[in-house]
A and B are shown apart, each in its own frame.
Chain A
Amino acid sequence: MKVLLVGGAGREHAIALSLTRSVHQPRLYCLSEMINPGIKKLVDSSGGEYFRGDINDPEYVVNVADKIGVDFVFVGPEEPNFHGVPDRLEEKGIPCIGANRAVSELEMSKASMRDLQWKYKIPGRLWYKKFRTYEEAIPYIEEYADSIALKPARQAGGKGVKVIEDFQVYLQEDKRRVKREHAESIVKEYMKGYEDTEYRLLIEERVWGPEYTLHCFTDGKSVLPMPVVQDNKHAFDGDLGMETGGMGSVSCGMNLRYGIDDERSIITEEEYKRSVDIVRMMIEAIQRETNKKYHGVVAGQMMLTSVWGPTVIEMYSRLGDPEAGNVLTMLKTDLVEICEAIIGERLNTIKAEFDDRAVVIKAVCPEGYPNRRELAKGHPVRINIDSGTGSILWASAELTDGKILTGGSRIVECVGTGSSIPEASLVAERLCRGFSLEDGWKVFHRSDIGSEKFMERRIALANMAREIYQYRERKGLLGKRMMWIPGKGLIEVG
């Protein structure tokens, strides 16, 4: 059996590990822009081949797959989906795990995703407004918007989102100015080069609560939900600093438990079920809307909010990174068999099993990440880890002339497992300390992710959001927002 993996980041290293663990012992091939040292090893030991090239070029991917004569292709990242790589493969009769162009709209256009969610009245929908130009948005920002999230209307490499809390009237002028300026840079900078969506800017209401990612495999007919994972976007300890692609993620059991034998959890079983329902409804809606089958992974990037309980922040048309490392480490079922079931549209016959143990992933990054990647790039990596528990996933790291150089983003994702999240966190933490850069350029990681204090705070936050949304639910007010605007009357949204 031959499998071609598209993409070369930490997520793809996790997929590669999972695929090569299969009893079918596939020969692994990989295609990515940089040679990932971890995937390279797996490719070599399985007798496959590593190709270096443009993963977003459907013709090129098809040619490589054709040349190898693969049994199926697994597309890791989102951009090949947006560029129609799965579509082209399917046309050529090459089976593919990856959302096609039409259904990946769920992730690609954040505006379409919300349109869909509102059209089909799917729970957990945030109030939003979309704009074609910056000028269109200005009067709106001036007049109405208070605490909001400003987003590029298209998925733009996870960059450009700004959340501004604006309820302190005495600071309003300064905050509105930054909102205007950021809205302008979203349209003029972050969306530059992405000409494939009508809307350019999205403004959403700002909500609070613990965030979590729920991944599902789907063959278009049924969904196979995975354990919930919590990713952490702030660059620095204590949830401080810029938004990143994710500095680390935690999981335990299906619903983010504190530990295997622990009653505490961030998400309740009921909330887990509701979240699965939401993702299932999103898949059904996008299929109905586009008349296309979804073969691959869908993820809801969710938040437990006081307004709705489980709420959709964004949708992924692939596995999250670093969350992929969590779910695939926990997956006990053969990934190759799951892929074959998706291709054959018989996913309902698979009874997937997941390990209950806690998994904590922490990313090690070069200083400069996320906003000054030119400074973060090109530093030789020094590794000093003792063999023991835990494993590593290579991410933005390139193997050149026997050396591993930083690519400017997260270098490596350290994976720890244990009977509780804090225990797994210590394993990941120890691994993180084994990475440095030969030229003395600094690296950083988040030591707080998965610690006891961290978990207690997340659980406290979840309890707080839960208390409010459950109260609203009892009152029949779930998802409803009411405003009394003097002179205009009662405005209801929801």
Chain B
Amino acid sequence: MAGILGIYLFDERWDVYNFGVFGLMALQHRGQETVGLEVVGKSRGKVEGEGLVDQVLANNKAAGHICLGAVSPYPASNGEIQPIKLSENVSVAIDGKILKIEGYQWDSMLSYEGNLRRAFKGESVEDLKEFFSRCRGGFSYIALNGKPEMVAGRGDLGVKPLVLGKMGFEGGIVASESCVMDIIGERVPISPAENIEPGETRIFTPLSAHAERLRNCNKRAHCSFEYVYLARPDSYINEIPVYRVRRRIGEILAEEGSVEADVVIGVPETAIPFAMAYSNSTGIPVEKGFELTGRRVRSAMKPNQIERLKGVQLKLNVISEAVRGKRVILIDDSVVRGNTLANIVYLMKEKGAKEIHVRIGSPHIVSHCPFGVEVPPEDELIGRHLPEDKIAEVVGADSFRYLSIEGFVEATGLKFEDLCLGCFDGNYPEV
């Protein structure tokens, strides 16, 4: 996955570099390993590197009224830094994965990017439309050519999100999440952004901006993990406020896994809304259980185990006063391998928690995502191999429960058949 951003202003006097920087900062939670920002105006320049947005982009500069950028959770050693070059004059930022391209034989000797480059011909808007209408998988994209023209859209299954915002009479902003518009767009009192529909593409040229439907496909497969973990709670994904889903998940957890306790604690940051809603619906008080040391990082997205544990231990120092002598309901968003959870439970018991009942705001993760969500190989997934009571023993908790798949679907307010629940049940949509 990734966070992608395109800004297209019509007036050449604008310099959007800083808009790009702050826009990507608003997407930083979608990728913290690499960042790239390409800016087009009278000239074309690109700043990229490994690290966080402010580390990579702060001391460099490129100027222009149009830009394309991305943050990605893949280390630079695993592939090219996004946005990648598709041809001489075309750059593209992709969130998710293109799994096949109609009329093209995938070459396993080539890299992923190499295959995309071989399959793509030309550089015009028409060439880009033709190319993306042949791509299949779970992805959203923003491409920029040398004219400069911008083409942005979602794959027809609508797995990955993409929204359109605007800046008054100046132009438009396309981004993975609507929170970008709050940070760099105009204040629109009703809703910050417009949802781009699956199969739809938005085209910006110096003379026009319009929508086209590249493909008609009724099957929807919105990524479940956006609602559980990936997206920011202040964003709207498929027009649904993420915070509403997370609150509802907390309420359903309280119904499904009811247990006597003295305090509810959420694991920062993602699980805090679950814990607040759990508390509000049960009357069990919610407390702040942890304090952070150093920079806020998304520990679960770190590429190796030591980094993840380092992240967790620094992020999650238990506040003993909150847990000592208490029966604790500890809520986390998901469990992948279980080691970080075990670490948290251990730290909490060490600080005097009497009982710990773990509740997870998502169903068990049993499958590796083909669309690029960072789920490790299946033999590493604790939820695929162990039942709930066994996991409780492994992590050292008094009880352990997942949210049910039905409960999750209900929380989203979407129809079962419109969601991709593959990571929970192993069934992915046909591409």
Contact = CB atoms under 8 A, between A and B. Distances in A.
Q: Do A and B come from one complex?
A: yes
A118 interface: no
A372 B207 contact: yes
Interface in B166-200: 166-169, 171-172, 183-184, 186-187, 189-190, 194
Given A174-B15, A178-B13, A372-B207, A461 B166 contact: no
B169 A162 contact: yes
A237 interface: yes
B190 A242 contact: no
Interface residues of B, number: 29
Interface in B1-46: 10-11, 13-16, 18-19, 22
Contacts of B11: 178
Nearest to A171: B18
17 contacts: A165-B167, A168-B183, A168-B184, A171-B184, A174-B14, A177-B15, A178-B11, A182-B13, A235-B208, A236-B208, A238-B166, A240-B171, A241-B169, A243-B169, A371-B10, A442-B208, A444-B210
Please give me the 5 A-B residue pairs with the lowest Cβ-Cβ distance, nearest first.
A236-B209, A243-B169, A367-B207, A460-B190, A464-B189
B172 A241 contact: yes
B99 interface: no
A52 interface: no
B164 interface: yes
A181 interface: yes
A165 B15 contact: no
B211 interface: yes
B169 A234 contact: yes
A159 to B, nearest CB: 11
Interface of A (DSSP majority class): mixed
Contacts of B207: 367-368, 372, 375
A353 interface: no
Contact of A461 (B10, B164, B190, B194): B190
A377 to B, nearest CB: 13
A168 B310 CA distance: 34
Interface of B: 10-11, 13-16, 18-19, 22, 164, 166-169, 171-172, 183-184, 186-187, 189-190, 194, 206-211
Contacts of B208: 235-236, 367, 442, 444
Contact of B13 (A181, A235, A372, A442): A181
A167 interface: yes
Contact of B169 (A163, A181, A368): A163
A208 interface: yes
B19 A174 contact: yes
Nearest to B211: A237
Contact of A165 (B18, B19, B187, B211): B187
Contact of B22 (A170, A236, A460, A464): A170
Interface of A: 162-165, 167-168, 170-171, 173-174, 177-178, 181-182, 208, 233-243, 367-368, 371-372, 375, 442, 444, 457, 460-461, 464-465
A102 B50 CA distance: 65
Given A367-B208, A368-B207, A457-B190, A240 B172 contact: yes
A173 B13 CA distance: 13
A66 B194 CA distance: 56
Contacts of A173: 18
A236 B210 contact: yes
B171 A241 contact: yes
Nearest to B189: A464
B19 A171 contact: yes
A163 B168 contact: yes
A183 to B, nearest CB: 12
A463 to B, nearest CB: 9
Contacts of A168: 22, 183-184
B211 A208 contact: no
B207 to A, nearest CB: 5
Contact of B189 (A171, A372, A461): A461
A240 B169 CA distance: 7
B121 to A, nearest CB: 23
B166 A239 contact: yes
Nearest to A172: B18
A240 B167 CA distance: 8
Given A162-B169, A367-B207, A367-B208, A167 B187 contact: yes
Contacts of A239: 166
Nearest to B15: A174
Given A167-B187, A238-B164, A444-B210, 10 more contacts: A162-B169, A168-B22, A173-B18, A174-B15, A174-B19, A236-B210, A240-B172, A240-B209, A368-B207, A461-B189
A372 B206 CA distance: 10
B187 A178 contact: no
B190 A464 contact: yes
A234 B13 CA distance: 19
Nearest to B166: A240
A167 to B, nearest CB: 7
Contacts of A181: 13
Given A236-B210, A238-B194, A367-B207, A171 B187 contact: no
Contact of A242 (B10, B13, B19, B211): B10
Nearest to B169: A243
Contacts of B164: 238, 240
Nearest to B187: A165
Contacts of B186: 165
Nearest to B65: A178
Contacts of A163: 168-169
Contacts of A368: 207
A174 B18 contact: yes
A474 to B, nearest CB: 20
A173 B16 CA distance: 11
Contacts of A165: 167-168, 186-187
A237 B14 CA distance: 22
A241 B10 contact: yes
